[in-house]
Every structure is written in structure tokens, then in C-alpha cells.
Structure 1
Amino acid sequence: MLTRRQILKTGALMLAGGAVSAVFRKATAAEQASAVTQPPLAASTGDRYAPVVTLNGWSLPWAMEKGVKVFHLIAQPVKREFAPGMVVNCWGYNGSTPGPTIEAVEGDRIRILVSNHLPEHTTIHWHGIFLPNGMDGVGGLTQPHIKPGETYAYEFTLRQNGTYMYHPHADEMVQMALGMYGMFIVHPRKPDPVRIDRDYCFMLHNFAVHAGTATPDPSVMTDFNMWTFNSRVFPGIDALVARTGERVRVRVANLSMHEHPIHIHGTAFEVTGTDAGWIPPSARYRETTMLVPVGNIRVGEFIADAPGDWALHCHKSHHTMNAMGHEIANMLGVDHHDIARRIRKLVPGYMAMGETGMAEHAAHALVGHMPLPENTLPMMMGQGPFGPIEMGGMFTMIKIRDRQKPGDYTDPGWYQHPEGTVAVRLPGEPPKPIVQGFKPTPTPDNPPG
């Protein structure tokens, strides 16, 4: 049980610039200085496991105090670069959204200090973790709200291992809409029976950032226009990197307002866990699209057995776009060249869009030929080795290489395809379609025979 004396002692350490605060400042500076994913500080006291790599993020350091691991989270306004060219006014923890990943080991006694630097009260709920009721973090129900300027201490023993989250249970509509959430990983005390070579985690979320603005709109319920992995959109999302033959674990949490079918190219996930724990081996299943429901977690594992740059993305097509406009007229197939010409006399640079699709419009915006509102990204972004990738939002890549060194998370660049292994354009006239044996389905306008 956490005593008043322990709380006062920990508070004195914080005020004196003790180990917890000092470590926190160093980690925040390092994270802010680089957008490249780095292996985190180990959270174990000697147990063997693969530390988690948080895409575009970091793991929270801790200090040991008489057998208790002490962490410190600071709820505060933060600025987050979603991708180059767009910085958003968010709320988060320790200078980032998502907040730093908490890593600990099953059986650990942990104490998490939560300081509130927001303009309103907050709490933190430890999603999926079994703990005493008074540590569950539901404002008004299991504890008083943490008012601005206050620090609360949560202390409990970790009785399970797996993948979990933390997020507010106070003014959730605003606080979660602005980016307050983080991952909580509990490693098993005993070594994992299956060796995991690389362990990644990221959070799915949605934001409504109207064109030309920088602050998410918390009143939006469903019509979001920014879809993020760890509060980043493509091409601002780090790639997952692996060496050929390694076993890779991907932990995906969802605190957005939509379910997300996360699709992997070139291989298939073995679905091994949820936020309720690990799925027994006899009940695990394989699929290339792993559905992650709202408020839930899915863990997928695969063998990186095929070198290349493989896509990993949400399979809802609108979730791989940025800054979409809603409730606009459908212009597909409509010839509007004449009206566009007349509008350009009044609005130089105006470009009509949607007659033959969105690709040309997005390409013009991407290369700067079409002006966009300030702090607004094109719908489709990213250049690949063969041209525009035409994706945004919830999209990244898994880069598998034969020569990637174990433990090396640096981006290896674009894949160099062996000769003869890339689809090519055929010269000359297009071949005639093969119709032999084709039988159209009978309809009233096309009866049999």
C-alpha cells in the first residue's frame, strides 16, 4: 500500500531534481531531437526479452526506489509534427503524443506519478491492467480528479503480462481527441517460449484538423480527416525494419472512433494476443488483414521471409488519405474545363478536381503546383523509387533486408529489386483480352442464347 510518507518522499525527490525528473528530462530532449525510431531503454532488471520499439516514439525511463519502479508522466499541451509541413497543437504526456511507452515486467511493483500541467483536471486509466479499484483512474468514481498543478501517485503490482494502454477517464471527448494516450507493455517474467527478434507497437487514432488550422476539433464525432499511427501520418511514419528470417511482433492499439482493418503485404499475421492477454496457441489464427476494434488491441506476428519494401496500412481507403473534404459534389465524369477556365480568371491557380479521379490533383498539390491552406497536407503524399506512392494517413512500410544486422533499426533505403522481378510495361499495342469460354450472366436485356 502506498503510504503518505512514501508520497511525500517521492515528491521531495521530484522537487530536488532527483533521479526520476532528471531521467525524464534527458529522454524528452532525445526524443524531440530525432524523429527516427530508436530501441528504447530496457525496463527489465535482468529478465531476457526483446524491448519494444515504439514507432516515432520512445519508452519512459524509471528509477528504482526500495524495490519499486518509479515512473513519472506529465500531462501537458504538446506540439506534434504529423508529417513535414504540418504541426498540430495537441495534448499529451512528457512532450509527446502518444505519451512514452511504459515498459515493465510481470511481478514488478510500480509507482507512476502523474503531474497535471493541463488547463483542466484529468486522470489516467490503465486500460486492461488488473489492479486495485482505487488505482483504476476513473475520475469521480474511483478517485478525485487531478486538478491543474497537482501530482497523484498510482501504485500496484503487475499480475499479468501482455499489451495494454493508458488514457484519461476525465473529459475524454476533449483529452483523447487532442492526443492523450500511450502504450503500456508488461513483459513476461519467464522467457517467451517463442523467440521474438523485433517487437513494435503503435496506436491508431483519428483527428479532425480543419484545413488551414492547427488545433484538433473535439466536437467532431465521425468525419475525421487525419488518420494516424502514433499521431503521425504517411510519409511521416517510420518504417518497420527487419532482417530476413526474423520473427516480428506488431502490437496495435486502437483509441480512435473507428475500427481499422490493418493489412500486411507479402506475408500474413498470426494473431497471438489482445488487451485481455495472449491467445492460446491452439486458438491462434492467420490472416493478412487484422481487424482492430475500437478500444481494443491486437497483436500479430510474422516471419520476415521475403525481402522488399512491403506496405502495412489500414484497408479503409479513406484512412490512407489526409485532409479530406467532406460533403462535396461528385464530379467524376463531369467535363468542367470551361468553368474552370473562367474561374481561373477570378482565382489564379484554381484547379478543378475529380473529373477523372484524384491522382492528378494530389500530384499537383504534392509537388507544389497547387497552393494549399497553411499547415495543411495534401491528401496523398510520399515519393517512392517509381514515383508518387499516393498514400497518406495510416500507411507505412515493412523493410525486410538480408543484410540488416540484428538490432539495427536504421532505414535501409529503397529496396533494390533483382533483375527481372519488377512488373514492366509491354511495348506496342495492348494485347486483346482473353474471352474464350466467357459466358455473360443472363439478364432480362441479355437472355440466354
Structure 2
Amino acid sequence: MVSRRNFLGAGVALAGATAWSRTSAMGLPEAPVMESAATQPPVHPSEGPHYNPVVTLNGWSLPFRMNGNVKEFHLVAEPVEREMAEGMTAYLWGYNGQSPGPTIECVEGDRVRIFVSNKLPEHTTIHWHGMILPCGMDGVGGLTQPTIPPGKTFVYEFDAVKSGTFMYHPHADEMVQMAMGMMGFFVIHPKDPDFMPVDRDFVFLLSSYDIEPGSYLPKVMEMTDFNMWTINSRIFPDVAPLVAGTGDRVRVRVGNLTMTNHPIHMHGYDFEVTCTDGGWVRPEARWPEVSIDIPVGAMRAYEFDAVHPGDWALHCHKSHHTMNAMGHDVPTFIGADKSAVARKIKAVQPDYMPMGTKGMADMAEMSMPLPDNTIPMMTGWGQFGSLEMGGMFTVMKVRDGLEAGDYEDPGDYEHPPGTVAWEWTGELPEAATAPDGSASGSSLPNTPAAHQMPDHGAGHSGH
């Protein structure tokens, strides 16, 4: 087991130059650090051109300072601890205290200067994925620049010539560094604030890890058999919801830095893809979708009008990608009678639970012992019971009456009477009558109180 002290101190032990001091950083912009895994409120610019800032799920945007007419940012590449969900922490590499790193935001036409300080145990670079810039700023170690040694700071400076959604990640020991979580979003807002305006603008990255139950470090040599599929290095049930007011124009920007494609599906709506990392999609080239496939190393942004209130699932449609800590070598026991062998195993292991003979749903409802630093494969609870989800899953929550800057979780949706599926008992209930005298659907009670889930005690997490 790698201890936190050994892990976080690896860079200092390898190279004495990595010892950080105020003197060595004199004159640099501040390098703020984020320790929380909660979604931070959007930060409106206090200097430079105005823009409507994005909201990074379970993340934040990096502050900047103005130096003349240049926006200056400071990224620090370093080992980090990322809480993937309550009860599970991963030892990753990232930027400014988190993985993914903070979102960088600027405006089309801005001159940006980004200081990158390396506190890793090895050299690194940053590639500005999809952006138009001078070749020497492209960040490919050995090809377009010398790599950044441990303890050193390099400067990237270029003009933000094209608006859109981009990413950043290393192009040095890329297999290891990206597998360890080094990535982030880069959003360039249009110079014209009337071009493609939205009320709510969400961003998140898709990443994957192979972290064995009870361990903390990803297996960086893994190519296909990942067991943690994440949204901004978070797994359900602790991925933040996307919150919008009824009638808001909403944009969702999704980047994929895993090793497979992800068909992102959102319930309750159709939408149009309006942007890729290649640029904005012309109106005549758009088409309606309810799922959009995000290729490897690509970004897609889609937009819709939030006109349907409710709690709408948003997830990858590859079913294994909505699971946590999945063991891929587990045989299928559906239809097998395990009662005899279960009695024998319980004689030596009283906590043993035979599972899988009728499917896997009981794994989400039964409490079973787990290794430390592990989360159940299927988990999460809603007002009607177990969600039986994990991984790349969250909820788009649309509510009436939300203030423009309100991104707090509004809680469970209160379904109007007659709008929840009910059990058939042999006859249809009488239709409810709307105030105007028209039929408004079933009068069957369907408030949350009528569908209470079992009481599993305070703080139950589905373990």
C-alpha cells in the first residue's frame, strides 16, 4: 500500500529542486488550490471583457490577474487526493489540488499567459487540445518544446483566436500522466456576447480508472478493463446534479479523455449538438438527438430549452459505465441454487452473502462488508427506492422559480398528481378534473409519501 506521505512526497524525494518556496515563486500569479470536490459557483470576471461563466460539475474555474492587456493564470501540476465519492479517495495527479484541474476561461481575442509549475516527480508539459496557437506553444515534449523538469516553471503565451470548448492535458509520458488524472477544460467565450447566449452553461470531462477495491492508485498500464467510469473524476451517487430553472436555455459541454467512446443520453428532452472542439455547428447542420456519442479525445456541446420540470437522468448509455468497482471476472449465477454452498461458506465466513442468482439488483439494497476505500457497484437512493446506478450517471434537475445564479440541489422533484406510474389492481382510477373542467389524468395518489422507500437508517449509502 502506498502511504499518503510517500505518495505526496515522491516529487521532493526525487529532486531537491521541487521544494517549493515563496522566493522561487516571486512575481508569479497566485496559484489557488481547491480541496473541495463540490461544484463551486461560477465566477464572473472582475476585469477584462464580460462573459457568462461556465459551471464545472464538482469543479471550479481558475482565477486570473490582468498584467497590462494580458490575462495571467498559474497552473501547478502536482500529486492530489481526489474524493471520487464519499468513502472513496484516489491518489491521482492533477492541477492546483484537484483532478481534473480547474477550468480556464477567457474571451475570444484575449492574450493569455499561463505559468505552469511542475511539482510532479517527473517532467511534464501541457498540450492545449484543439486550440489554434503557435507551434512552439502546442506542448508536445521533445517536438515543440523541452519538457518542464520537476521544480521548474514554464510559460505558455498565445492569443485566444477562436471561441469554443477545448481541453488541456500533458503531452509528456502521456500514458501515465493522463491515466493518473491530468486533464482539464479550457473555454473560450465568444467576443460577441449576443452570439450563442445561454442561461446555464455546464462543463465536465469523462475519465476512467482501474482502481482495485481497497487500493488508492490507478493501474496506469490498463488499456481496456477499467472499473471506475467517472464524470469529472466523481462517481455516482456523488456526481453533482445539473440544476436549471424552467425556461432556461441550457448548454452542456462534455469532453472525453477515456480510452473508449461514450454515448451520453439525457432523459426527458431532445437537444441539438451546437459545438465540437473543432468549432460551432452552423444552425443548418444541426439535428435533434436524445443521445450523442462522444469520441475519444473529443468534445461535444449540446443545447436545449429547459421546459420540462423534473429529475431527468443523464448518463453514459454503455450499461457497464453506470457501475462502480466492477469485477469483470465474476461468473453469471442466474438460475443457480447456491443455498447449499452458501451454508458451508457462512460456517467459516458469517458475513458471506450469495448474490446474483436472480440478477444483481439485490447488490444495491443489501448491506455487505466492503474493503476500505471502496464504494458499492450499484448504489444511490431516490424518493422511490434504490437507483441501482454508479459511475457515469447524474441528474438534470429542472425546477420552476429558480433564481438565475442558484445552482443548489433543489432536492427530489414533487410530481403532480396522476403523473407517476402505479401498480395495476384491476381497474383504472377515476380521472382527475383540472380547474378548467378538462381531464388531467389519473387521481391515484402518487406523492412521495405514497411510495416510501424502506427505512435503512440515517446516512445509509447502499453499502
- Shared fold, TM over 0.5: yes
In structure 2, C-alpha distance between the alignment counterparts of 1:32 and 1:391, rounded to whole Å: 26
Q: Does 1:136 align with 2:129?
A: no
Of 245, 248, 251, 1:249 maps to: 251
Q: SS of the residue aligned with 2:252?
A: strand
Which residue does the alignment assign to 1:343? 345
Work out which of the residue numbers 38, 41, 45 in structure 2 matches 1:38: 41
2:72/2:112 contact within 8 Å kept:
yes
Distance 1:60 1:20 in 2: 11
Q: 1:246 touches 1:304 (CA, 8 Å); kept in 2?
A: yes
Q: Alignment partner of 1:154: what SS?
A: strand
Cα 1:83/1:13, change in 2 over 3 Å: closer
Deviation at 1:193, TM superposition (A): 3.1
Distance (whole Å) between structure 2 residues aligned to residue 108 and residue 418 of structure 1: 48
1:392 aligns with 2:390: yes
| Shift in Å, 1:34 | 6.2
**Contact map agreement 1:269 1:290 (CA 8 A) in 2:** no
Where does 1:242-391 land on structure 2 (aligned, <5 Å)? 242-364=244-366, 369-391=367-389
Shift of 1:346: 1.3
Cα deviation code 1:213-248 (max 9, x no counterpart) = 011110111000000110000111110000001110
Q: Which amino acid aligns with 1:374?
A: D
Change beyond 3 A, Cα 1:244–1:429: closer
User: How much does 1:353 deviate?
Assistant: 1.8
* 2:20 is aligned with 1:20: no
SS at match of 1:20: coil
The answer (yes or no) to whether the contact 1:41–1:59 under 8 Å persists in 2 is no
Give per-residue Cα distances to partners, 1:290-332, cap 9 Å, x unaligned.
Answer: 1100000001001100001100000000000000001222211
Alpha carbons of structure 1 residues 106 and 262: separation in structure 2 relative to 1, 3 Å: same
Measured in 2, the distance between the counterparts of 1:83 and 1:341 equals 34
> Deviation per CA, 1:24-67, whole angstroms, max 9, x where unpaired?
33xx2xx42461441234386133x3210000100001111121
Change over 3 Å in CA distance of 1:103–1:44 after alignment to 2:
farther
CA distance in 1, matches of 2:244, 2:286: 23
CA distance in 2, matches of 1:381, 1:37: 25
Shift of 1:340: 1.1
- How far apart are the structure 1 equivalents of 2:260 and 2:365? 28
Question: Gapped runs of 5+ residues in structure 1?
Answer: 1-11, 431-449
Q: Distance in 1 between matches of 2:148 and 2:168?
A: 15
Identity %: 58
2:407 aligned partner: 409
Q: Who is 2:199 aligned against?
A: 197
Aligned to 1:230: 232
Change (3 A) 1:349 1:420: same
CA contact (8 A) 2:202 2:252 kept: yes
Structure 2 partner of 1:7? none
- Summarize the alignment of residues 81-160 of structure 1 with structure 2, pairs less than 5 Å apart: 81-160=83-162
Q: Secondary structure of 2:29's match?
A: helix
Contact residue 245 and residue 400 of structure 2 kept, 8 A: yes
Output the CA distance in 2 between the equivalents of 1:33 and 1:139: 31
Report the counterpart of residue 444 of structure 1 in structure 2: none
C-alpha distance in 2 between matches for 1:329 and 1:13: 56
Output the amino acid matched with 2:49. Answer: G
Query: Cα distance, 1:16 vs. partner?
Result: 6.3
CA distance in 2, matches of 1:43, 1:183: 21
Superimposed CA distance per residue, residues 56-110 of structure 1 (whole angstroms, 9 cap, x where no aligned partner): 1000011111211110000000000001010110000000000000000111111
Cα distance change on mapping 1:43 and 1:163 into 2, 3 Å: farther
The code of the aligned residue for 2:261 comes to E
Q: Supply the distance in 2 between the matched residues of 1:239 and 1:138 (Cα, whole angstroms).
A: 35
Q: Which residue of 2 aligns with 1:440?
A: none
Q: Describe the shift of the 1:332–1:44 C-alpha distance in structure 2 as closer, same or farther (beyond 3 A).
A: farther
Is the Cα–Cα contact under 8 Å of residues 37 and 238 in structure 1 kept in the other structure?
A: no
Is the alpha carbon distance of 1:316 and 1:251 closer, same or farther for their aligned partners in structure 2, counting shifts above 3 Å? same
C-alpha separation in 2, matches of 1:157 and 1:417: 49
- Partner Cα distance (1:260, 1:220) in 2: 18
Which of 182, 186, 189 matches 1:180? 182
TM-score, normalised by the number of residues in structure 1: 0.88
Q: Give a deviation string over 1:152-186, Cα, whole Å, max 9, x none.
A: 00011111000000000011111101100000000
Gaps of 5+ in 2: 1-20, 429-463
Equivalent residue letter for 1:160? K
The answer for the alignment partner of 2:8 in structure 1 is none
Distance in structure 2 (CA, Å) of the matches to 1:230 and 1:154: 25
Mark the CA change 1:346 to 1:223 in structure 2 (over 3 Å): closer, same or farther: same
Query: Residues 225 and 33 (structure 1 numbering): CA distance in 2 closer, same or farther, change over 3 Å?
Result: closer
Tell me the secondary structure at the aligned position of residue 32 of structure 1: coil
Q: What CA RMSD, in Å, does the superposition of the two structures yield over aligned residues?
A: 1.9
Q: Distance in 1 between matches of 2:409 and 2:274?
A: 27
Partner of 2:66: 64
For 1:3, the equivalent position in structure 2 comes to: none
Moved more, 380-389 or 161-170: 380-389
Deviates further, 126-135 or 327-336: 327-336
Output the CA distance in 2 between the equivalents of 1:417 and 1:204.
Answer: 31
CA contact (8 A) 1:44 1:104 kept: no
The Cα shift of 1:17 comes to 5.3
Partner secondary structure for residue 340 of structure 2:
helix
State the Cα distance separating 1:336 from its structure 2 match: 1.0
Moved more, 420-429 or 268-277: 420-429
